Structure 1
């Protein structure tokens, strides 16, 4: 049994994704822990057949789900790797993990993996989507889920971090090949993000990660978010879409890529802005009734 790291995977109706992921990590002889959100397909059966320890927990948002997972599973290894069910570990990343020894990383607390994201079979190489680093591996009981985020989940790891630029996580949600699924999913996400931003406007929610442009990938994201919050609503989706298309060369992702950048970079952000205004107006109306 692997004594260096264990895997935690979040699932919900992932019978088309989970076998791919499990196959890509089957060579590590590592403990598997799966936190499911009441799947109605064969997800949990697939996980159990692979030897995973499975818990079921009602889903509110990703940060809370990861927080529950990290606090509930009996992790015995010094490191944990947290993956989404629609991700795959590539052979080059597999080799880095096979060579991983805790004794070689005594002064390191977290490791970023490089992600390749796909939409309708298309690798999104431009538009700010590659390279894209995700903090997925960290010391157990050192890293934790950032509960100050409502939709955009990330882990906080005090201490030194490094980036593995070689090797990749491949991320492709095959269910998103049906555009109705993508739209319904992001409509739900827009509810979460609008609520989060409204709470930030009202001073009810803080930012955990220290914003730093020249810092870690997550510190830079925190800095960019502060810039985003200062931009005027309804203007910022257009600015962001142009930034992705022109300055981040999203135009070179071709028709499928441009559709994605429009939907995720403009449409989704515009819906969030509309919902923020609705929440603020509803709050003002409720306050006037008192």
Structure 2
């Protein structure tokens, strides 16, 4: 494929970013948008000749990605996160793609690892992501950002690897960030919930992942992930409840 750049978002990714950049070193131009990391992320990125490093205050994921897309001049862009790796097979497939005016984007399958294990169930596989697309699209959405493609979408045969969390502490840190963003989004839309919804939603999340999505086949990792996802739902919704009640108290 001709005319391709890569986009990576970072924040305190010194443990991940080098492996990520090495896996996409074959791409001529890589744009990294960093949210003012206070570790060695910037130093590591600046060691790569094909990396253009930018710092931008984080507001939400869509805005941060769009900031990076505006720095890219090529017709095509490949979006990858710092904890993801392009396999040799995917690299060769992308490099051998022929530019097709009728195709606007490609879905790419992702293998998700949790605490060192590939999760095949829990609703985590197959996991297709729209990551290779023409650089005319822009993201929207605060937490689960995305965009609509008004052209043809195809699917690549090979995928990339996603090392989600190296430990439980990293899971809790990211969970706190994502649940806050999600709660604020729903609060601004005027959504209100009660304790019955909060408890039932958490319970149903566990049933969905561990029973319906057969998370029990993932063994101990499956039950841990299902319980943590249930807790994620609880925290997200209790934060929304807190926002609504704090505003109510201020209005009185």
Normalised to the residue count of structure 1, the TM-score between the two structures is: 0.80
- Large movers: runs of 4+ above 6 Å: none
Corresponding residue for 1:242?
207
Matched, 1:171 2:162: yes
Separation in 1 of the partners of 2:34 and 2:55? 5
1:153 to 131, 145, 165: 145
Matched residues in 2 for 1:156 and 1:80: separation?
Answer: 15
* CA-to-aligned-CA distance 1:80-122 (integer Å, 9 cap, x gap): 11111110011221111110121xx211111111011111101
CA distance in 2, matches of 1:65, 1:136: 15
Q: TM-score, normalised by structure 2?
A: 0.91
The answer to whether 1:144 aligns with 2:138 is yes
Q: Is the 8 A contact 2:76 2:132 kept in 1?
A: yes
Deviation at 1:202, TM superposition (A): 4.6
**Within the alignment, does 1:274 sit opposite 2:238 as a pair?**
yes
SS of the aligned residue for 1:125 comes to coil
Corresponding residue of 1:77: 74
Contact (CA 8 Å) 1:119, 1:257: kept in 2 or not?
no
| Cα RMSD after superposing both structures | 1.9
Q: 1:196-255: CA deviations, max 9, x gaps?
A: 12223459xxxxxxxxxxxxxxxxxxxxxxxxxxx9332122112101111111111111
Distance (whole Å) between structure 1 residues aligned to residue 126 and residue 54 of structure 2: 33
Q: Distance in 2 between matches of 1:145 and 1:270?
A: 27
Q: What CA distance in whole angstroms lies between the structure 1 residues aligned with 2:22 and 2:169?
A: 29
1:48 aligns with 2:60: no
Report how far residue 127 of structure 1 moved.
0.8
Greater helix fraction, Structure 1 or Structure 2: 1
Kept after mapping to 1: 8 A contact 2:210/2:222: no
Partner of 2:106: 111
C-alpha separation in 2, matches of 1:284 and 1:252: 45
8 A Cα contact 1:113 1:134, kept in partner: yes
- How far 1:134 moved relative to its partner? 0.9
Inter-partner Cα distance in structure 2 for 1:106 and 1:94 = 21
Distance 1:188 1:11 in 2: 14
Residue by residue, what CA displacement relative to the aligned partner does 1:178-197 show, whole Å, maximum 9, x if unpaired?
Answer: 32232132122211111112
| Distance in 2 between residues matched to 1:38 and 1:273, nearest whole Å | 29
> Whole-Å Cα distance in 1 between the matches of residues 147 and 117 of structure 2?
27
- Superposed CA deviations along residues 60-92 of structure 1, whole A, max 9, x for unmatched, are 221221121112x1x232101111111001122
- Paired residues in the alignment total 248
2:1 corresponds to 1:5: no
The residue aligned with 1:68 is 67
